[in-house]
Structure 1
Amino acid sequence: MDISLNGYGEQVATFAVSGEVKVGMPVKISANGTVAPCVAKDKFCGVVLSLRGGYAAVQMAGYAKLPYTGTKPTVGYQTVNADGTGKVQVEATGRLLLITDVDEPSGTCGLVLA
């Protein structure tokens, strides 16, 4: 049996969308009740799960799998932020999050949003 963290502590909220937001992208709060794409080094509030009619379902907590760029994350607590292209990156500034798994061939990492 494989280990799975999907669904762990998941919390989802609905926001209006500003800009070119895509499913799977880390986003930031840009105005009251509105999310937008992150630029490089932004702290992100969550990950877009779905889009419909100018609104996004944004996962704010729980396990998420995201593409990364730059330095390969390692499991454990890492400081990460958005890279501005829909991926996350390990940086000196950002959010301290628990990295639970890293899939180097696919360029993704699993993390727990807090």
Structure 2
Amino acid sequence: MFSLFKRVPSMSTADLQKEGAKEWTVLDVRTPAEYRSGHIAYAKNVPLNKVAGFTQKGDKKLAVICQSGMRSKQAAKILSKKGFDVVNVRGGMNQWRGTTKGGK
């Protein structure tokens, strides 16, 4: 019964910044407008409403981020159910202290 409520692991923005693109494929699940306003340089924009259709080449682990951590938590649960090795980034872009990139 408890396996139905499997918790998705999480990590801090500081941990993501340390490990970076070498270890993770970062999915930014905010809207395209939010993404354009500033995002992690190596993040891919896959809005929450498109996450169910996400496919990935390779075997990097997924780190999912949004503005505050709520949408990314939902996305991480969806991706986990699809069999991906995924973590939620706690605090989202609100807590990100690294550099960001604007535009596409």
- The TM-score with structure 1 as length reference comes to 0.28
Which one has a larger percent strand, Structure 1 or Structure 2? 1
Which one has a larger percent helix, Structure 1 or Structure 2? 2
- The TM-score with structure 2 as length reference comes to 0.29
RCO greater where, 1 or 2, for CA within 8 Å and sep 6 or more? 2
